[in-house]
Amino acid sequence: MNIPNALTILRIFFVPLLVAALVEDNAWVSFPVTSEWLALGIFLTAAGTDLLDGYLARRWKQVTTVGTLLDPIADKLLISAALISLVQVGVLPGWMAILIVGREFAVSGLRQIAAAEGYTIKASDLGKTKMLSQVAAVSCMLVARRHPALRSPGMVLMWIVVVFAMLSAISYFRKFWHKVDERTKMGRRRELLVLERKRQRMEARQRRSRGSSTLGGERIWKPPEVN
């Protein structure tokens, strides 16, 4: 296992720690920091591994199939766990979390279907901006649990996340539909071309069959014998 993949797996292990730090207040009594600051530290560390593993994989040319599959899963687990935990502690409205998490799984489903069909839907600039806005918004909302003054800025950032999430989802759906439409048209053209070739071969066989039967049925004329 290379270092980028190890960082991706480490990010997955950070998820239960984040949930425990945010939801279970009494689980960290031995630490000299409050739960929201501990949760913020865990979240930012996990988000940092997302940037680091991608950078190292490209720099060291260690991009692997396992890493390509695990990286988006780890990202979605981290963001989903953070949003659901914020709903649990009453900081974030539930519909926002459902909308964002639902978008994540819908886009993942589209990309998997596209991959099964043989083409790749690359991450858009809106998707990358959405990830950065999610980190900023979740970080602000984590601290806003004990510092109500940050609730309003955090909600503004969450609205920005929702807008970017919807715009990027529309972008992914358009790419997916375009790819599917192109593939369907190409498949239909190939089918029509195959049918046309079969028709031409059948007509050629019929012409040859008629020609051979005519030759076989002809009578050769002979002049009468003279006695």
Predicted confidence pLDDT, tens digits, the chain (227 residues): 788 888 889 999 999 999 888 887 655 445 566 778 888 999 999 988 888 887 787 888 877 777 777 888 888 899 999 999 999 988 999 999 999 999 888 888 877 777 776 666 666 666 667 778 899 999 999 988 888 888 899 999 999 999 988 888 888 888 777 776 676 667 677 777 888 888 888 888 888 777 665 555 554 455 555 55
* Longest CA span, the chain: 136
209 falls within a domain: no
Q: Which domain holds residue 144?
A: 3-186
d(CA 82, CA 102): 14
173 falls within a domain: yes
98 falls within a domain: yes
43 falls within a domain: yes
139 falls within a domain: yes
CA atoms lying within 13 Å on the CB side of residue 96: 26
Tokens of 119: 């083409």
d(CA 175, CA 57): 26
Q: Look at the pTM and tell me if it is higher than 0.85.
A: no
225 falls within a domain: no
11 falls within a domain: yes
Q: Which residues contact 154 (CB under 8 A, 6 or more apart)?
A: 91, 137, 140, 141, 144
Looking up residue 165, the CATH number of its domain turns out to be 1.20.120.1760
What's phi and psi for 118, nearest 5 deg? 100, 10
201 falls within a domain: no
Name the domain count of the chain.
Answer: 1
Please identify which residue in the block is written with the tokens 């695990």.
70
43's enclosing H/E stretch is helix 35-59
Q: Which residues contact 141 (CB under 8 A, 6 or more apart)?
A: 86, 91, 92, 150, 151, 154, 157, 158
